[in-house]
Amino acid sequence: MHRLLTWIFEPGFFANQPVHVAIVIGAAVAVVSGVVGVFTILRGQSFGGHALTDVSTAGGSGATLIGASPLVGFVGAGVIGAVVMDAIGIRRVRGRDLATGIVLGASIGLAALFLDLDATTSNTTGATQHILFGSIFTTESSTVPIVIAFSVVSLGIMAFIYRPLLLSSVSDDIAAARGVPLRLVGLLFMLALAVAVGLSALAIGSILSTALLIGPAATALRLTRRLGWSLVVACLIGVGGTWLGLLLAYDSYDWSSSHQGIPVSFFIVAVQFLAYLASGLPFARAARGRRPLGISAVG
Amino acid sequence: MFGPSFLNAWYVGTIVAVIAGTVGFFVVLRGEAFPAHAIPNGAFAGAAAANVLGFNTLLGLAVCAVLAAFGIATLGRRDRHDVVTALALVMMLALGALFLSRSGQYEPQIFSLLFGEVLGVSTIELLPVAALAVVCVAAVVFLYRPLMLSSVVPEIGEAKGVRASRMELAFLVVVALATAMTVPVVGALLIFSLMIGPPAAARSFTDRPLSALLLSVAIALVTVWLSIAISYFSNWPIGFFVGTLGAFSYAVGRGWAALRRRRSVAPVLVGP
C-alpha cells in the first residue's frame, strides 16, 4: 500500500513549498472559473471569455515590462477589455463575435509588442513562457492573499447578480419584463469573467486559461441538468482536475532519465479535455435526462 | 528594404494577404470568427510537433490544421459549437507547449510560431506556400456559389441540395489550408486579425459581395505591406502592426457605415 502511494505521489510532493502554493492557488482559481464558466456557456459567451484571455495576455506582458506583477496586469487588462467589449458589443450574436474578434486581434498585436520588448529591453528571462503558459509552480507564496482576494471579489459579484443573471441567461425578454437591468447585469458578469480569466491566466497561462473556464463547466453541464448541481460539479471537476494535473507534472520529473518535466499546464488542460470527451460517452449521456437545462433551471 | 534578402518577405506577405482577404471574407460572412481563431492554434501544435520530430514544418502545420478543422466540425454537431471550439483550441495550444518544451530552444520558437516572423522565410519555402495558395484560391472559386448560398440563406441552399454541414466542413478545411501557409509568416495568433479585420471593414463599405471580396483583399494587402515596411524601420514585431492595423481598418469601416446610415434614409442592407 505504501509502495503504491509513493508510486502515485512521488516523494516530497506534500513537503514541497511550491506545491503547497500551487494547490491553494489551483483550488481557488478552479472554483472561480467553474462558477463563472457555467454562466459563460449558458450565455453563449465562450468566445468572449476566450477573447478576454488574449486581452489579459497583453496586460500580463505589459505589466512585466514596467516591473509590475503579471496578475495585476492580467486582471486589469481583462477588466478594461470587458468594458470595451461591452461598449462596442452589438446585441446580435454575430456582430458580437466580430467585435470580440477585433478586440482579440488588437490585443494579441499589443501582446506581441510587449513580449518582444520584454525579451529585448528588460532582463527578465522566461517572461514569454510564464505569461503564455502559466507559472503555478513558480508563484511566490506572497501572491496567495491577492489570489484569494480576487477570488472573493469575483464570487461576490456572482452571488450578488445570481438571480437576475440566471433569468437573463435563460431569456432576455422575461428578464426585461421582470425589470432586470440587463445592461448592468451583463457588465457585472463580464467583470466577474475578467477576474476569473486573470486568475486562471496566472495559474495555467493566459492563452490556456480558457481550459479552466470552459472545460469543467462544459463537462458539468453535460452530466447534470440542474443548474445548482452543475455549479457544484464544475467546481469539483475543476479542482480535482487541477490537482491531478499538478500531481502528474510533479511526477513527470522522474518519468524520463533526463529529469525533464512536462509542463504542468499541459496536464491541467489535457485532464479537462479528456473529462469533457468522457462526459460524451454513452453511459454519461444516459445519466442526463432529456429535459433541456433552461427549463429545469427556472423551475 | 527591397534588397534580395528581404524580397521573400514581400512575396510571402503578398500571398498571405490575398489568401487571408479571400478566405476571411467568408469567415466574416458565415460568422465563423471563433473556428477561424481556433484552427491556427491547432496548426501551432503541428508546427511544434514537426519541430521536435524533425518533419517539415509546413507538413506538420497542414496536417494538424486539417485535423483541427475535422475535430471542430465533427464534435460541434453534438454539442454547443463554441464550447467545442474553445476546448479544442486550448488542447491544441497545450500540445504545442508540450512539444516545444521537448525541444531545446523554447522561447524564440514560441514567439515566432505564435506571433510570426516574416523575415524567416527562405526561397525554398516560397514554392510550397505559393502552391497551397493556388489550391486555396481554386477551392474558393470552385465553392463560390454554393458557399455563398449556404452562408447567406442556408434554407434555400438546403433546398437546392447544398448540405450545410458538408459545406461547413469543406469551408473549415479551406480555412485550415490557408492557415497552414500563413502561420510561419504572421503567426498562429495574428493570422486571425488578418482574416477578420479587412473583410469586416470591407463589408462596411459595400454591400455587393464581389466588390466586398475584392476590397477585402485590397485592405489586407495594404495592411500587410504597411506592417512589413513599418516593422522593418522600427524593428518592432510585425504582429503588432498587423493586429493594430486590422482593428484600425475595422474602426474606420464602422465609422463609415454609421455616417452612411445617418445620411441616407433608405435602409442599408446589412448582411445576416
Average the pLDDT over B112-118 and give the result: 71
Using CA atoms, how far residue B242 sits from A192, B114, B194, in Å, is 30, 13, 7
Q: Say if residues A180 and A164 touch (Cβ distance below 8 Å).
A: yes
d(CA B130, CA B79): 37
**A125 phi/psi in degrees, rounded to 5:** -100, 150
The 8-class DSSP code of residue B3 comes to: S
Question: Judged by CB atoms within 8 Å, which residues 9-38 of A form the interface with B?
Answer: none
pTM over the 0.90 mark? no
Listed in sequence order, the DSSP H helices in A161-298 are 162-170, 172-177, 182-204, 210-223, 227-251, 264-278, 282-287, 293-298
Question: Of B95 and B125, which is predicted with more confidence?
Answer: B95
Q: What residue of B is the nearest CA neighbor of A126?
A: B107
Alpha helices in B31-122 (DSSP H): 33-53, 57-75, 81-102, 106-115
Chain A residues with CB-CB distance to B200 below 8 A: 98, 101-102
Cell, residue A295: 427549463
Of A105, A207, A214, the CB nearest to B83: A214
Residues of chain B contacting residue A44, judged by C-beta atoms under 8 Å apart: 80, 82
A96-118 pLDDT, tens digit each:
777 788 888 888 888 888 888 87
- Higher per-residue confidence, A107 vs B111: A107
Q: Is the model's pLDDT at B132 over the cut of 80?
A: yes
Whether residue B239 and residue A113 make contact (CB cut-off 8 A), yes or no, is yes
Give the pLDDT of residue B222: 93
Question: How much is the CA Rg of chain B, to the nearest whole Å?
Answer: 18
Please give the sequence-ordered ranges of beta strands (E in DSSP) within chain A, or none if there are none.
Answer: none
How many C-beta atoms surround the C-beta of residue B43 within 10 A? 32
The answer on pLDDT for B88 being more than 50 is: yes
Residues A67 and A72: their CA atoms lie apart, in Å, by 11
Does B193 contact A at CB distance below 8 Å?
yes
Q: Which A residues 142-161 touch B at CB under 8 Å? A: none
- Going from the N-terminus, what domains does chain A have, and what CATH number goes with each? 24-294 (1.10.3470.10)
Put simply, whether B246 touches A (Cβ < 8 Å) is yes
Q: Could you give the percent of chain B with pLDDT greater than 70? A: 87
Q: Which of B83, B227, B234 to mutate to test the interface with A (most CBs of A within 10 A)?
A: B83
Cβ distance B247 to A208 less than 8 Å, yes or no, reads no
B95 interfaces chain A, CB cutoff of 8 Å: yes
Of all residues in chain A, the one with the smallest CA distance to B242 is A109
Tell which wins on pLDDT, B129 or A199. Answer: A199
Over the stretch B189-220, which tens digit does the pLDDT of each residue have?
778 888 888 998 888 888 888 888 999 999 99
Q: How many CB pairs under 8 A join A and B?
A: 176
In chain A, residues with a C-beta closer than 8 Å to the C-beta of B247 are 102-103, 105-106, 109
Test the B interface: residue of A104, A108, A132 with most B CBs within 10 Å: A108
CA A77 to chain CA centroid, Å, is 15
- Res A290: pLDDT: 47
Domains of chain B: 4-196 (1.10.3470.10)
Which stretches of chain A drop beneath a pLDDT of 70?
Answer: 1-8, 10-14, 89-95, 122-126, 256-260, 282-299
Q: Which residue has the higher pLDDT, B129 or B212?
A: B212
Nearest CA to A80 among A97, A64, A63? A63
- Burial class (CB within 10 angstroms; exposed 0-12, middle 13-18, buried 19+) of B210: exposed
Q: So what's the pLDDT on residue A260?
A: 67
Q: What is the pLDDT of residue A196?
A: 92
Question: Which chain A residues are closer than 8 Å to B95 by Cβ?
Answer: 266
Q: Which three cell numbers stand for residue B60?
A: 506538420
For chain A, positions 176-215, list CB contacts with chain B under 8 A. 205, 207-208, 210-211, 214-215
A positions 63-122 inside 8 Å of B (CB): 93-94, 97-98, 100-113, 115-116, 119
B197 touches chain A (CB under 8 A): yes
Q: Cβ contact (<8 Å) for A119 and B107? A: yes
Report the alpha-carbon distance of residue A225 to residue A233 in Å, rounded: 11
